[in-house]
A and B are shown apart, each in its own frame.
Chain A
Amino acid sequence: MSAQPSSLDRPCADQLAALRAKLAQAQSQRGPVLAFGIEALDNRLGAGGVDGAGLHEITAASPTLGDDAAATLFVAGLAARFATAPGANVAWALTRFDLYAPGLEQAGLPAAKLLYLQGKNETMALALAEDSLRDGSFSAVVAEVKVADQTATRRLQLAAADGRTPMLLLRRWARSNRDPLERPSAAMTRWRIGCAPSVPLPAPGVGRACWSVELVRQRNGNPFSLMVEACDDTGCLALPAPARHRAAAAVRAASQAA
């Protein structure tokens, strides 16, 4: 009689141990997590931040060039925070070179840290990104493409996990009526970044930009959207001051703009 519960218990314990081992393995595959440093953002992310060994898709909220630039800066800020170590390098795969390097430097990615890989077509750009991921000597890899199907994103996700390097896939709008994120993908998180009107300054001038950040899909978590202030010269985002402190926010923005 006494053997029956133990015989029932033992497989349970074994199964538990096996499950724990599996979980631990899954955890170990995950790279270092990079938190945004904003509680409202980090608490809602399943991993508590951006996974350092996974694929993340970012796109502009609308097919305008302004939103596209905001998404670019969001990616640049993320990459800059992954590559804070001196001598770290970020690979940026693209097909058409219209980035302006001084602008990227002001998002925390100086020219000495940024290596551009220009492919003849998007397939080549994705292949270059995958090579850089598997190599593992880059702190982050960025690729900007218009089309990336399920196979391509799956490959990138596997390469990112193998090379333990974050992959930031900037999906650009190919056509104005075709949302880049409408097809499913293997990404850990999918973001949509758009411009938002910034807090007006008390004096004439332009303050810190505001973005609407929308997390469309994530593993282990729910989607959400949030307003944030654009990344500064180290790539860090900030929360705009709440409404009752608007005056204070304006003062801060003015000091930053000055």
Chain B
Amino acid sequence: MPPDEGGRGTAPMPVMAFRHDRPMVLIQRVGQRDLIRSACPVALSLGLTPGMVAAHARALVSDLDVRDADPAGDEAWLDRLALHGVTHWTPIASVSGGDGLWLDLSGTTHLFGGEDRFCRRLLRFLQRLGFTARVAIAGTPGAAHALARYGGRDILVLGSGTEATALAELPVAALRLEAAALTAAARFGLERVADLVRLPRGPMAKRLGLNAVTRLDQALGHVAEPITAVVPFEAPDVSRRLLEPIGTPESITQVISDLVDDLIDVLRQRGLGVRTALLVADRVDGEAQRIGIGASRATRDAKHLKRMFGLKLDRIEPGLGIEAMHLTVPHSEPLGASTAGSLIKSDAAATDLAPAIDQLVGRAGEDAVFRVAPNESDVPERAIRRAGPLDEPGCWPRWKRPVRMLRRPEHLTHVVALLPDHPPRRFTWRGQAYRVTAGDGPERIHGEWWRTDTELWAVRDYFRVEVESGERFWLFRRGDGVEPETGDLSWYIHGMFG
């Protein structure tokens, strides 16, 4: 999701450095073949055209830079440009096809110093972003579309009422006809737009389809073609200006409560829920105090939001007083209506932990609240990983495991054990001697050879032992006791059973 639509984070603007010494083409897989989707000017001058098979192009030009096309990325860029146009140039703008933008410039170009200057400015802006572009201004969207693509000039401003003459010499393809209509036109020898203008309407509709007539009329201005404008996303935003500066916690809480109530109304109308909310308090001396809250799941619960702000209330320093407060939602998510609590309470329904988690995260920080989930590894210290508090982790295999683990396995000394697969009889750990009364094992765990070379042959034999006092430990021996390369037969303690 682009950032203007409430998405999270902004992708940095890529600065494309074109190196014109080496031809480059973008390829796309169509069926069984890689076809060239677009080619750079150098490649075009070498005779590589869009639609050519990539293997053919590689054979023709040895030093060819071939990259994969990214249609989704292109589309995202066009969307962002359209949004930029809506917010900066004109209220009505939209994406046109896969490679263009429509800007309705009626009554806006004087803000930029006239149409010519606006076009130059637009080109410079796109050049800074790394795009080459052509601009055409015409009285109808169809004519502008045709002239921008087939006009042959970077900037083309058409006087009003001259669409017919300007379009006359352009090829028929400029009229946005469908492929079938284009083929039919080629068969009838209709090459220029002027040929179509001269044709009687009835036979033309019969031969090229009614759509072609509409397109021609749209280009010439006989039929209206409104532009469906992109509507930019505006972050939900509420403000309260205060008659007198406030400074007491009670009054600040009251204003926050009012703001949240206002915000909930806005959110309900737009079907959104809060993920992040930012409260800005403008002080009399011009300083702005900010507190932000985050929700682990989109929420529209006024009580919950007020409580989360209440937890951070002490971070506001009112100073000489606060004269205005604003509440914005930088990150929101769609949240539909939820059913009111049904009359029949079901016991099976799990309680929703999200509010509790938000509160705990607000107190201790993002990393403090977590679950532990299974990780696919047999090595005990790698079998666990941290997961988000709202995840639903699975289960581990039912091998006996200790309840507490040492951070690192600790070395045991004075171990007396029968090789290869008996638990030790006695051992010394942290200066204390233990005598084993019972033991279970071994549980053999092999090293993960795909991680490091040292684990290629490594083996750990784990034993569960009970010592005289009743304490139970999880010990292991490096090596299987037979093959010397599996380990040096040293003993370690790794965890404690209860």
Are A and B interaction partners? yes
Binding site for B on A (CB under 8 A): 64-74, 76, 85-89, 98-107, 110-112, 114-120, 124, 127-128, 131-132, 135, 137-138, 194-198, 200-201, 204-207, 209-211, 230, 257
Contact between chains at B355 and A110 (CB < 8 Å): no
Contact between chains at A103 and B469 (CB < 8 Å): no
Using CB atoms, name the residue of chain A closest to B469. A195
* CB-contact partner of B364 in A117, A135, A211, under 8 A: A117
- A195-B470, A206-B440, A210-B470 are known contacts. Are A72 and B353 too (CB-CB below 8 A)? no
Enumerate 13 A-B pairs (CB-CB under 8 Å) in ascending A order: A66-B467, A69-B403, A85-B347, A86-B350, A89-B353, A105-B401, A110-B395, A115-B353, A116-B372, A128-B363, A194-B470, A195-B498, A206-B440
- A116-B371, A201-B438, A206-B465 are known contacts. Are A103 and B402 too (CB-CB below 8 A)? yes
Contact between chains at A73 and B356 (CB < 8 Å): no
- Which of B133-141, B186-194, B249-257, B404-412 contacts its partner? B404-412
Contact between chains at B364 and A102 (CB < 8 Å): no
Contact between chains at B393 and A98 (CB < 8 Å): no
- For B471, list chain A residues within 8 Å (CB): 64-67, 69-70, 195
- Which of A65, A88, A204, A257: most chain B Cβ within 10 A? A65
- For B496, list chain A residues within 8 Å (CB): 65-66, 68-69
Asked if B202 lies at the interface with its beta carbon under 8 angstroms from chain A, I say no
Asked if B181 lies at the interface with its beta carbon under 8 angstroms from chain A, I say no
A25 to B456, CA, bound (A): 67
Contact between chains at B353 and A69 (CB < 8 Å): no
Contact between chains at B473 and A98 (CB < 8 Å): no
* CB-contact partner of A69 in B351, B352, B440, B498, under 8 A: B498
Asked if B464 lies at the interface with its beta carbon under 8 angstroms from chain A, I say yes
- For B384, list chain A residues within 8 Å (CB): 100-102
Contact between chains at A101 and B396 (CB < 8 Å): yes
Contact between chains at A73 and B498 (CB < 8 Å): yes
A103 to B399, CA, bound (A): 9
Contact between chains at A69 and B404 (CB < 8 Å): yes
Asked if B63 lies at the interface with its beta carbon under 8 angstroms from chain A, I say no
Binding site for A on B (CB under 8 A): 347-353, 355-357, 359-360, 363-364, 367-374, 380, 383-384, 389, 392-396, 398-407, 437-440, 464-473, 495-498
Contact between chains at B401 and A111 (CB < 8 Å): no
Contact between chains at A198 and B438 (CB < 8 Å): yes
A211 to B497, CA, bound (A): 12
Contact between chains at A103 and B355 (CB < 8 Å): no
Given contacts A102-B399, A112-B394, A116-B372, 5 further A-B contacts (CB under 8 A): A102-B396, A104-B403, A111-B396, A118-B370, A206-B465
* CB-contact partner of B404 in A74, A98, A117, under 8 A: A98
* CB-contact partner of A103 in B351, B352, B403, under 8 A: B403
User: Nearest Cβ distance between residue A231 and chain B, in whole angstroms?
Assistant: 8
* CB-contact partner of A137 in B351, B363, B398, B465, under 8 A: B351
- Which of B347, B357, B471: most chain A Cβ within 10 A? B471
Contact between chains at A105 and B396 (CB < 8 Å): yes
Contact between chains at B363 and A127 (CB < 8 Å): yes
Contact between chains at B353 and A86 (CB < 8 Å): no
A103 to B466, CA, bound (A): 17
Using CB atoms, name the residue of chain B closest to A71. B498
Using CB atoms, name the residue of chain A closest to B356. A135
A98 to B408, CA, bound (A): 11
The 10 A-B residue pairs with the shortest CB-CB distance, nearest first, are A66-B471, A87-B350, A73-B498, A195-B470, A69-B496, A103-B403, A70-B498, A102-B401, A101-B372, A111-B393
- For A206, list chain B residues within 8 Å (CB): 438-440, 464-466, 472
User: Nearest Cβ distance between residue B303 and chain A, in whole angstroms?
Assistant: 13
A85 to B346, CA, bound (A): 12
A116 to B468, CA, bound (A): 34
A67 to B470, CA, bound (A): 9
- A111-B371, A114-B371, A115-B353 are known contacts. Are A209 and B359 too (CB-CB below 8 A)? no
Using CB atoms, name the residue of chain B closest to A212. B470
Contact between chains at B364 and A118 (CB < 8 Å): yes
User: Nearest Cβ distance between residue A132 and chain B, in whole angstroms?
Assistant: 7
Contact between chains at B497 and A103 (CB < 8 Å): yes
* CB-contact partner of B497 in A69, A87, A101, A119, under 8 A: A69
* CB-contact partner of A209 in B440, B495, B497, under 8 A: B497
- For B389, list chain A residues within 8 Å (CB): 115
Contact between chains at B440 and A118 (CB < 8 Å): no
- A87-B351, A101-B396, A135-B359 are known contacts. Are A197 and B403 too (CB-CB below 8 A)? no
- A115-B371, A209-B470 are known contacts. Are A204 and B395 too (CB-CB below 8 A)? no
- For A198, list chain B residues within 8 Å (CB): 438, 466, 470
- Which of A69, A119, A132, A194: most chain B Cβ within 10 A? A69
A116 to B364, CA, bound (A): 12
- For A195, list chain B residues within 8 Å (CB): 469-472, 498
Contact between chains at B438 and A204 (CB < 8 Å): yes
A206 to B367, CA, bound (A): 39
